[in-house]
């Protein structure tokens, strides 16, 4: 009984029996020869992590602050002390209290500059400072991260964020130099599409169309089958127009239309071709799949049934997508978005689930996330779905949003 109560309290802090388990642990210690249960600092830390992972930041703060009390503080390792301070800082960061976040993230780094979360602390300090409009200080922390931890997972993001600060200031020379470093130093990092776009736009606005068309070409070829390919092709075509090569521009606009994505870029390309007196036809889709059609639930009932259910979670297996659906129904859109990110692999196994999530975002008037989840999974969706789902997919994409 003692071990079961302990497991409930440690591993299931949100369970309705968690507090009862804690009371029973104390009763067992009082009524028998069993030693009182005193959780270790690591156990309290892990309990705090559970609260943090499910967005209960105030409850997480209670646990992490408990570790910093005298009972634990005198025996904490540098590593755990630093990680606890970091987690407190991140709780405040998620709660958008950036002054408190900065304070605890600084303490975390200073406590153990070579610890496992040292680079994390420097990165999020930069983000907190940016949110406080202390951009010069933010740059200094990003640069410190790059100098001390060049192999950090945050290094490419740090370069990108420095570039963004300079770009927003209008210092395009410095901005371009940092964006170029991302593409050369971290060519496989997840910030590559962002920096190629930023760099191409700087070159375009600086009338350097020859360089811009190469950058946008690299952008498009790096992301075939996604909305980023279309974006790159369209801006590459605009560069050719600026350079006077309308034939090449028309060829690229037609290529975008032939991708049959029915995105913003499809219709923008048609407009550009019409201005060039080029005729082009876009294949019509089934207009009954418009989400505003009051009878749509009868056409794709498996997608719309989710709107009628009180709870989608059944059985004991709960994955990220199940959580996202529940969070959406409760109105926690940001948290639902995080869960859909974490559950991206689940979409590959069942593409129709992407349509369910996008529909829930749409019906919640969160058009941005509805569009984004389609855009991020477009390649798998187009290859994994058939009629009538593909036409519905197009309606969920840019034209409707």
Cα Rg, the chain, nearest whole Å = 26
Same domain as 306, residue 326? yes
Q: Computed from CA positions of residues 72, 77, 78, 81, in that sequence, does the dihedral angle turn out positive or negative?
A: negative
Contact between 82 and 111 (Cβ < 8 Å): yes
- Along the chain (401 residues), what's the average pLDDT of each consecutive run of 10 residues? 75 78 73 76 92 92 92 89 98 97 98 96 98 98 97 96 96 95 90 92 96 95 84 97 97 93 88 92 88 91 76 61 78 77 68 84 80 81 87 77 38
Asked which of 228, 261, 283 is the last residue of a domain, the reply is: 283
Alpha carbon distance 8, 355 (integer Å): 36
Q: Would residue 308 count as lying in a domain? A: yes
Q: Would residue 102 count as lying in a domain? A: no
Q: Which of 158, 169, 234 is closest to 195 using CA atoms?
A: 158
Same domain as 268, residue 232? yes
Same domain as 302, residue 374? yes
Same domain as 376, residue 329? yes
Same domain as 342, residue 382? yes
Q: Would residue 112 count as lying in a domain? A: no
Same domain as 326, residue 308? yes
Q: Would residue 242 count as lying in a domain? A: yes
Same domain as 315, residue 256? no
Q: Would residue 337 count as lying in a domain? A: yes
Q: Would residue 322 count as lying in a domain? A: yes
Helices (H), 305-398: 320-330, 333-342, 344-349, 352-363, 367-376, 378-384, 389-396
pLDDT at residue 75, rounded to an integer: 87
Owning domain of residue 368: 293-396
Asked which of 283, 306, 339 is the last residue of a domain, the reply is: 283
Alpha carbon distance 226, 374 (integer Å): 10
pLDDT at residue 23, rounded to an integer: 74
The structure tokens listed for 41 are 């600092």
Q: Would residue 263 count as lying in a domain? A: yes
Phi-psi region of 331 (alpha: psi -120 to 50; beta: other; left: phi over 0): left
Asked which of 228, 252, 283 is the last residue of a domain, the reply is: 283
Same domain as 333, residue 246? no
pLDDT at residue 376, rounded to an integer: 79
Q: Would residue 389 count as lying in a domain? A: yes
The domain total for the chain is 2
């Amino acid at each position: 009984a003692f071990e079961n109560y302990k497991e409930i309290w440690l591993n299931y802090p949100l369970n309705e029996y968690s507090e009862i388990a804690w009371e029973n642990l104390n009763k067992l210690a009082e009524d028998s020869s069993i030693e009182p249960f005193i959780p270790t600092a690591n156990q309290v830390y892990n309990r705090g992590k559970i609260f943090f992972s499910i967005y209960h930041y105030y409850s997480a703060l209670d646990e992490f602050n408990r570790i910093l009390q005298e009972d634990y503080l005198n025996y904490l390792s540098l590593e755990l002390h630093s990680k606890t301070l970091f987690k407190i800082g991140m709780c405040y960061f998620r709660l958008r209290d950036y002054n408190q976040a900065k304070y605890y993230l600084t303490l975390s780094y200073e406590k153990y500059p070579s610890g496992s979360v040292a680079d994390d602390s420097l990165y999020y300090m930069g983000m907190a400072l940016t949110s406080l409009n202390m951009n010069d200080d933010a740059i200094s922390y990003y640069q410190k991260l790059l100098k001390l931890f060049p192999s950090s997972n945050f290094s490419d993001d740090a370069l990108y964020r420095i570039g963004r600060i300079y770009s927003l200031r209008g210092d395009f020379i410095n901005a371009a130099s940092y964006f170029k470093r991302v593409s050369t130093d971290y060519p496989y990092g997840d910030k590559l599409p962002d920096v190629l776009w930023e760099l191409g736009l700087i070159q375009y606005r600086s009338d350097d169309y020859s360089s811009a068309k190469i950058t946008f070409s690299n952008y498009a070829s790096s992301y075939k089958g996604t909305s980023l390919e279309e974006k790159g092709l369209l801006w590459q075509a605009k560069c050719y127009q600026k350079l006077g090569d309308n034939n090449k521009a028309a060829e690229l606009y037609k290529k975008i239309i032939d991708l049959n994505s029915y995105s913003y870029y499809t219709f923008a390309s048609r407009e550009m071709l019409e201005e060039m007196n080029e005729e082009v036809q876009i294949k019509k889709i089934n207009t009954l799949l418009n989400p505003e059609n009051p009878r749509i639930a009868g056409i794709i009932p498996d997608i719309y049934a989710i709107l009628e259910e009180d709870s989608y979670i059944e059985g004991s297996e709960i994955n990220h997508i199940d959580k996202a659906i529940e969070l959406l129904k409760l109105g926690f859109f940001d948290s639902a978005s995080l869960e859909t990110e974490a559950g991206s692999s689940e979409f590959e196994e069942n593409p129709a689930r992407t349509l369910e999530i996008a529909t829930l975002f749409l019906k919640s008037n969160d058009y941005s996330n509805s569009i984004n989840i389609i855009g991020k999974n477009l390649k798998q969706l187009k290859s994994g779905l058939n009629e009538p789902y593909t036409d519905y997919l197009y309606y969920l994409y840019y034209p409707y949003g």
